[in-house]
Amino acid sequence: MSRPVRIAPSVLPVDFSRLGEECQTLEKAGVDLIHWDVMDGVFVPNLTFGPDVIGSIRPLVDLEFEAHLMVVEPDRIIDRYVAAGCSTVLVHAEACDHLHRTLGHIAELGATPGVALNPHTPASVIRHVRDLLGVVLVMTVNPGFGGQAYIPLEDKVTEVAAMLEDYDCSVEVDGGIGPSTVADVVSAGADRLVSGSALFRDPEGLEHAVSDLRARAEAAQA
Ligand code: DX5
Ligand code: ZN
C-alpha cells in the first residue's frame, strides 16, 4: 500500500525579503509541509537559514516544517531547529560520525528523525538505523543549490523503498523534482517530494504547479 503523496516545497527559490508571505502563499497553494534547506557553508558551499529565521516564520503558517540540515556536526544545532518549530529533522549520513546516536537524539527531542543520502552514498547506510527513521531522503542532486539538473537515481529509490517495506518510514526525494521527473521517482517508490524551482517556474502559477505535481505523483502510484 503506497503512502499518501506529500509535497514539500523548498523555500530556496522564494523572495527572501518576503519570506513570511511566501510561506503563507505556499500554504494557500496547497503544499503539505515546508522544506527548509539549512546550509552552513562548510558541508555545502552555500549559507542559508538559521533557527531564528525559521522560528520567526513558525507562527505565520500551520504547515509542518522539516529541516534539511546540510551541515557538518549537526548534533551541535539539532536542538535549536526543533525549538524553532521543525517537527522533522533530516541529517546527512555523510556528516554524522555516530548516525545512530544522532537519530536517537532527534527522537528524544520529540521530532521525527530523518537521514539524507547524497547521490554517491549507498542505500546500505540505513540498514542498521531503519527502526529509528521516519524519513529517508534520497538526494537527486548534489546538495547546495536549487535549480540543478535531476540525477536519475530511481534504482536507489527502489532499493531504499524495499529496505523500508516493513518500517513506518517515508521515502523522500530532493533535487530536480518537477513535472518531467516526478512519475519516475514515485514509480520507483518515493512518496514525499521536495520541489523548489519547478514549483515556481510553472507559467500557470504556484497553485497549478502544486496540484499538477500531486496529480502526476498520484497517477504514478495508481
Ligand atoms: C539542494 C536542496 C534541495 C533543492 C531543491 O541542496 O536540498 O532542496 O533546493 O530545489 P530544486 O527542486 O530546484 O532542485
Ligand atoms: Zn533539500
Counting ligand 1 atoms within 8 A of each CB, the residue from 14, 141, 206 with the most, and so the one to mutate, is 141
Ligand closest to 150 (CA) is: 1
Ligand 1 centroid to Cα of residue 125, in Å, is 22
Ligand 2 centroid to Cα of residue 40, in Å, is 13
Return the C-alpha cell found at 123: 542505500
Mean pLDDT calculated for residue range 74-103: 98
Residue 186 has pLDDT above 80, yes or no: yes
Alpha helices in the chain, H assignment, sequence order: 19-28, 51-57, 78-83, 99-108, 154-163, 182-188, 197-200, 206-221
Predicted pLDDT of residue 11: 96
Mean pLDDT calculated for residue range 109-132: 98
Counting ligand 1 atoms within 8 A of each CB, the residue from 11, 12, 180 with the most, and so the one to mutate, is 12
Predicted pLDDT of residue 2: 82
Band the pLDDT of 198: cuts 50, 70, 90.
very high
What angle do the packed helices 19-28 and 206-221 form, to 10 degrees? 50
Ligand 1 centroid to Cα of residue 39, in Å, is 11
**Integer Cα distance of 31 and 128 in angstroms:** 32
Give the nearest ligand 1 atom to 143 CA. Answer: 6
Mean pLDDT calculated for residue range 153-179: 98
Residue 87 has pLDDT above 80, yes or no: yes
Ligand 2 centroid to Cα of residue 190, in Å, is 15
**Integer Cα distance of 156 and 51 in angstroms:** 31
Counting ligand 1 atoms within 8 A of each CB, the residue from 42, 68, 88, 148 with the most, and so the one to mutate, is 148
Q: What is the pTM for the complete model shown?
A: 0.98
Looking up cell 523522500, which residue turns up? 172
17 phi/psi in degrees, rounded to 5: -75, -10
Mean pLDDT calculated for residue range 188-216: 97
Percent of the chain with pLDDT over 90: 99
Which residues are tagged catalytic?
A: 37, 174
Domains located in the chain, CATH noted? 6-221 (3.20.20.70)
For residue range 133-151, list pLDDT tens digits in order: 999 999 999 999 999 999 9
Predicted pLDDT of residue 140: 98
Band the pLDDT of 19: cuts 50, 70, 90.
very high
Ligand closest to 68 (CA) is: 2
Whole-number average pLDDT of the chain: 98
Predicted pLDDT of residue 130: 98
DSSP 8-state symbol, 168: -
Burial per residue of 66-82, b for 16 or more beta-carbon CB atoms within 10 angstroms, e otherwise: bbbbbbeebbebbbebb
CB 140 within 8 A of CB 167: no
Give the nearest ligand 1 atom to 148 CA. Answer: 14
